[in-house]
Amino acid sequence: MKISRLALAVALLPGAQVLAADTSHELPSMLVTSARQAEPRMQATAASTVFARADIERLQARSVPELLRRVPGISFSSAGGVPQLSVRGTSTAQTLVLVDGQRIASSTSGFARLDYLAIDNIERVEVIRGPRSSLYGADAIGGVIQIFTRSGEPGLNPQVRLAAGSDHTFQRSLSLSGGTQQTRVHLGASLDEREGFDATRDERGADRDDDGQRTRALHLKLDHQFDTNWRAGLSLNDQRGENEYDDAYKFAPGAPQDEFQVSSYSGYLDRQLSDAWNSRLELGRSFDRNRAVDSAYNDSLLETTRHSAAWINRFSLTEQQQLALGTDWYEDRLDATTAYQEDSRDNLAFFAQHSYQGDGFGTELGLRHDDNQQFGSHNSWNAAFSLPVGQSQRWILSYGEGFRAPTFTDLYAPPAWGPNPDLEPETSKTYELQWRADFNGTLLEASLYRTDVEDMIAWGGRQIENINHARINGFEASAAGELLGWQASLGLSIIDPRDRNSGRVLPRRAKRTLSLDLDRQFGAIGVGATWQAFSQRFDDGPVNANFQSERSTIPGYAVLDLRTSWQATPELRWEAKLENVLDKDYHQALYQRTFADMDSVYGYREQGRTGLLAVIWTPAL
């Protein structure tokens, strides 16, 4: 099906709805993040997984990490409540996370706190597996996760959601969506509270208590179509609250917690200058604030603010050729209780990407040049060749480069922390072969890849240095479609992530993962189940008397979740789910209470069996 230039312009990046409610039945499955512009997902050169709003509601996912665990190649390890993300065996800081086009990772830790994001305000999640630094610059080694917040729909559409569950969990959200064909707005607010559970096992001091979280979220999105050529929009997404945790290295009594804020604000102006030329201007600001209260870090404050701008031009050279030219700029600023040597830096980049889609084959070639105030210039390439086989299959051979910029902590932290202002970026090269097929609505995908990461940033004994090198070999496959009346989705990943210096498997990575979702609708009643299995993993602890890491094995595990729903009336819906139905006792990471006591090694406990009951009211106005 041919996509008009206007349809593409409406679908482009972050202020627009990729699959708008009034056009979803006309457009094929589209993807934005892979090429930084809307394209049919079957033609995209990157391996991808997409969750629409309907998927989020069907799966009853209550957090972004819970949703992402079913993606092939993605795993999490939780160290006392902090979810560490790994995409294709890479580290948390080696995956770029965007919310409506804005980077949200902290410039000090390099982490994006996905667990803080309010999922009630999310419309769509696109997961790109594999490097995309040629389009997005730093941090896109393992992949890119882009979250699109909810947009308005014509009319007036309110929604109220109330939920209660185990561990004194209470969730409330309220949203109002409305507008006309020209102007659409979505306003949402939520409050989530839970007392949580005790993640540690040592039963010492304040570690005996449960560790809860309280999150208040606000979302506003406004889109306006001035005419057939002009479009503009604004987006505001803000989460703030308190997160309690067990401080494994704190001996004094107390209840350590983080007071946090994660927010992003963006605006865009989109103009179809001619039949062949679309131009888009984006402005944004993201903010990450974390204050450690009553912890071993003595009420420390870290605030990072990022201002950004992008100008993207897309040209239809012919019916089969597209060219994207753009520039990105962002500035990071730091405000911290502890003095850093530097508290600001900026990055200016230019990128170009050409794509060709012919009847017999397709190509993609891209280049990006980043000029960073701290580490200088860096170039990133990508190239892909695709070969259609009939009307339903496609083979893709690709090469991509990625890099991760050192954080403020790596570069400018206090001298006792061992910062190194001469650090170079981590770099990667990925070679990949993909196969895709669509057999009467059953989607099949498989990828075989190798990633080499150079100059990995790690502690070198006296300071942080570029010392490690990693090689990651991987295979992943997925299938989605209807099976005997059930909506089924299967994801499989097999990876071998190794430190090339020591030959060891990288810590806290499960080499084999499997996820299966089954859902079916029986009239007004819906039922579903999720089964996820993870192989054993290793952790580099404890530390012996010579301050060398002794490797420990973390057993594998499998978890079963069940869910059901009842559409009682057109306006009233009930949902219920049970997580970890078999009450599996497992952990994903280790900690050591002291360096001197070799016996004080524990596994961070994960959530046991829990239940949640929710009611959703959508009155007709």
- Six-digit token pair at 133? 């630094």
Question: Span 196-200, mean pLDDT?
Answer: 81
Which pLDDT does position 52 carry in this prediction? 95
Do residues 537 and 511 make contact, with C-beta atoms less than 8 angstroms apart? yes
Among residues 501, 531, 503, 537, the alpha carbon closest in space to that of 519 is found at: 531
DSSP letter at 412 equals: H
Which pLDDT does position 258 carry in this prediction? 85
Fold observed for domain 5-617 = Maltoporin; Chain A (2.40.170)
Q: Report the predicted TM-score, pTM, of the whole model to 2 decimal places.
A: 0.92
What is the per-residue DSSP string for 186-216? EEEEEEEEEEEE---SS--GGGGS-EEEEEE
Which pLDDT does position 21 carry in this prediction? 33
pLDDT, tens digit (0-9, with 9 covering 90-100), for 53-103: 999 999 999 999 999 999 999 999 887 767 889 999 999 999 999 999 999
Which pLDDT does position 593 carry in this prediction? 55
Residue appearing with tokens 């990729």: 18
pLDDT band (50, 70, 90) for residue 22? very low
Q: How far apart are CA 557 and CA 570, in angstroms?
A: 40
pLDDT, tens digit (0-9, with 9 covering 90-100), for 590-602: 766 554 454 566 6
Which pLDDT does position 84 carry in this prediction? 87
pLDDT, tens digit (0-9, with 9 covering 90-100), for 344-368: 999 999 999 999 999 999 999 999 9
pLDDT, tens digit (0-9, with 9 covering 90-100), for 512-548: 999 999 999 999 999 999 999 999 998 875 544 444 4
Lowest-confidence region among 119-133, 216-230, 404-418: 404-418
Which pLDDT does position 493 carry in this prediction? 97
pLDDT band (50, 70, 90) for residue 7? very low
pLDDT above 80 (res 271): yes
pLDDT band (50, 70, 90) for residue 254? low
Q: How far apart are CA 300 and CA 146, in angstroms?
A: 30
Which pLDDT does position 588 carry in this prediction? 85
Which pLDDT does position 600 carry in this prediction? 63
Q: How far apart are CA 398 and CA 434, in angstroms?
A: 8
Do residues 107 and 31 make contact, with C-beta atoms less than 8 angstroms apart? no
- Six-digit token pair at 126? 């696109």
pLDDT, tens digit (0-9, with 9 covering 90-100), for 371-404: 998 888 999 999 999 999 988 999 999 999 999 9
pLDDT above 60 (res 549): no
Do residues 612 and 165 make contact, with C-beta atoms less than 8 angstroms apart? yes
Question: Span 489-501, mean pLDDT?
Answer: 94
Contacts of 67 (CB under 8 A, 6+ apart): 51, 56, 59, 61, 119, 125
pLDDT above 70 (res 15): no
- Six-digit token pair at 27? 């457009």
Do residues 132 and 382 make contact, with C-beta atoms less than 8 angstroms apart? yes
